[in-house]
């Protein structure tokens, strides 16, 4: 497979995850960008909207119907929730593999999905087939998948942080807490009052405390790891930065375990999960622009409370980078192909 070029289409190339996909795929050694769709911007050069791609992407945005997506090997949906489910069936029937960066195929319980996303699902039969694609958990299923549900940003940081504890069966599953903060780009590339510079800058707030639609996605993944349902309190926050997620996770130990050794062993073979030395405090800027999750595990005052610190770039490991990682698995490539970027500092 390594000698073959993957023909790639992107639906919805004008948002933050879309341009991040373009940035990563333009540098990918085995991908060829064939089409980038946008009904509103059809005919505009991609580099006109995103000047960072000048000299790297020479395509124009095209109408979806004229884009020839059915001739691609893989199509990424960097679209709002509810779009991929309308178009996936026809593409899958044409032999195209799908990576959806939105939530259309993430939650196995279709009725629950419809409750949280406030719309009728257009192709529930593909939900049953879709693979929830957290590579550190479902690598083998991802290799064979036709439809990939790319995990959400908060769910990626939270699940990777909690997984070793749940898989080891060493914490109370009825009292898990995820206190997570995200940069403003997580809200998408749109004009809304709460993400205007004058509103979000020099400010910090929680939101979605009564219920957030990433909660059922996280709980689903944690239940799979634990082998039973879990009770999770998830509180997201908006922070005055552009990129990054910092998840502070709390659990109560039910048996003694060497936490540092547990985490180091669980992620020893993972290219994109970095278990930091004992006593570390990972920073969001340490993963900015890179497809890494950095984790530190603490046991304050030697007590029974475990505190896990998990940081990712919400647009990379939380979205586009993980999508490319999944593409690499689907097509038998090295998992880190096109994803060796070093994080940006300062």
List of residues 6+ apart from 98 with CB closer than 8 A = 74, 75, 77, 84, 88, 91, 92, 146, 147, 148
SS3 (DSSP) at 235: strand
SS3 (DSSP) at 270: coil
User: Is 123 annotated as catalytic?
Assistant: no
Question: Would you state the pLDDT for residue 3?
Answer: 63
What are the Cα distances from residue 8, in Å, to 71, 97, 128, 188, 298? 9, 10, 25, 23, 42
- Rounded distance, CA 114 to CA 267, Å? 34
Bridge partners of 19, per DSSP, are: none
- DSSP, res 79: S
Q: How many CB atoms lie within 10 A of CB 73?
A: 19
- Rounded distance, CA 12 to CA 36, Å? 7
Bridge partners of 309, per DSSP, are: 248, 296
Q: Please classify residue 197 by burial: count the beta carbons closer than 10 Å to its beta carbon, then call 0-12 exposed, 13-18 middle and 19+ buried.
A: exposed
Residues of the chain with pLDDT under 50: 1
Geometric angle at alpha carbon 314, from 312 and 151, rounded to 5°: 95
Pick the CATH number of 153-314 from 3.40.190.10, 3.90.226.10, 3.30.110.60, 3.30.360.10: 3.30.360.10
Geometric angle at alpha carbon 122, from 116 and 124, rounded to 5°: 80
- Structure tokens, 184: 């403003």
SS3 (DSSP) at 330: helix
Question: Would you state the pLDDT for residue 263?
Answer: 98
- Structure tokens, 27: 């540098």
Bridge partners of 234, per DSSP, are: 178
Question: Would you state the pLDDT for residue 200?
Answer: 86
Question: Would you state the pLDDT for residue 302?
Answer: 94
- Using CA atoms in the order 103, 107, 110, 112, what is the torsion angle rounded to 10 degrees? -100
The CATH class of 6-129 is alpha beta
For residue range 145-202, list pLDDT tens digits in order. Answer: 999 999 999 999 999 999 999 999 999 999 999 999 999 998 887 778 787 888 888 9
- Rounded distance, CA 64 to CA 12, Å? 9
Question: Would you state the pLDDT for residue 270?
Answer: 98
Q: How many CB atoms lie within 10 A of CB 117?
A: 18
Q: Which of 123, 153, 170, 293 is catalytic?
A: 153
- Rounded distance, CA 240 to CA 182, Å? 9
Closest CA to 214 of 311, 81, 46: 81
- Rounded distance, CA 59 to CA 134, Å? 30
Sign for the pseudo-dihedral over CA of 36, 42, 48, 54: positive
Phi-psi region of 220 (alpha: psi -120 to 50; beta: other; left: phi over 0): alpha
For residue range 196-221, list pLDDT tens digits in order. Answer: 888 888 999 999 999 999 999 999 99
What are the structural domain ranges in the chain? 6-129, 153-314
Question: Would you state the pLDDT for residue 1?
Answer: 46
SS3 (DSSP) at 179: strand
């Amino acid at each position: 497979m390594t000698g073959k070029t993957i023909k790639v289409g992107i639906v919805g190339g004008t948002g933050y995850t879309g341009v991040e996909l373009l940035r990563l795929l333009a540098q990918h050694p085995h991908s060829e960008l064939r089409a980038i769709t946008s009904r509103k911007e059809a005919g505009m050069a991609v580099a006109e909207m995103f000047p960072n791609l000048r000299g790297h992407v020479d395509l124009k945005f095209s109408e979806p119907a004229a884009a020839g997506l059915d001739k691609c090997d893989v199509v990424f949906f960097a679209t709002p929730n509810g779009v991929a489910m309308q178009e996936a069936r026809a593409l899958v029937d044409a032999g195209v593999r799908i990576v959806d960066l939105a939530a259309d195929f993430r939650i196995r319980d279709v009725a629950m999905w419809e409750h949280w996303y406030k719309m009728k699902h257009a192709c529930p039969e593909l939900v049953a087939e879709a693979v929830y694609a957290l590579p550190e958990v479902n690598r083998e299923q991802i290799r064979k998948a036709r439809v990939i549900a790319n995990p959400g940003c908060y769910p990626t940081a939270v699940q990777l942080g909690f997984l070793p504890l749940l898989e080891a069966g060493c914490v109370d599953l009825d009292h898990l807490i995820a206190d997570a903060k995200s940069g403003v780009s997580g809200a998408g590339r749109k004009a809304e009052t709460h993400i205007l510079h004058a509103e979000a800058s020099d400010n910090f707030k929680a939101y979605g405390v009564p219920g957030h639609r990433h909660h059922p996605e996280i709980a689903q993944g944690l239940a799979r790891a634990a082998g039973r349902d879990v009770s999770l309190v998830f509180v997201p926050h908006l922070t005055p930065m552009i990129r990054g997620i910092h998840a502070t996770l709390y659990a109560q130990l039910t048996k003694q375990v060497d936490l540092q050794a547990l985490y180091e062993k669980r992620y020893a073979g993972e290219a994109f999960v970095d278990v930091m030395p004992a006593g570390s405090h990972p920073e969001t800027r340490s993963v900015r622009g890179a497809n890494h999750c950095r984790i530190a595990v603490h046991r304050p005052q030697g007590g029974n409370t475990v505190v896990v610190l998990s940081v990712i770039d919400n647009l990379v490991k939380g979205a586009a980078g993980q999508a490319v990682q999944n593409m690499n698995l689907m097509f038998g490539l090295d998992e880190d192909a096109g994803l060796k970027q070093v994080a940006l500092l300062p």
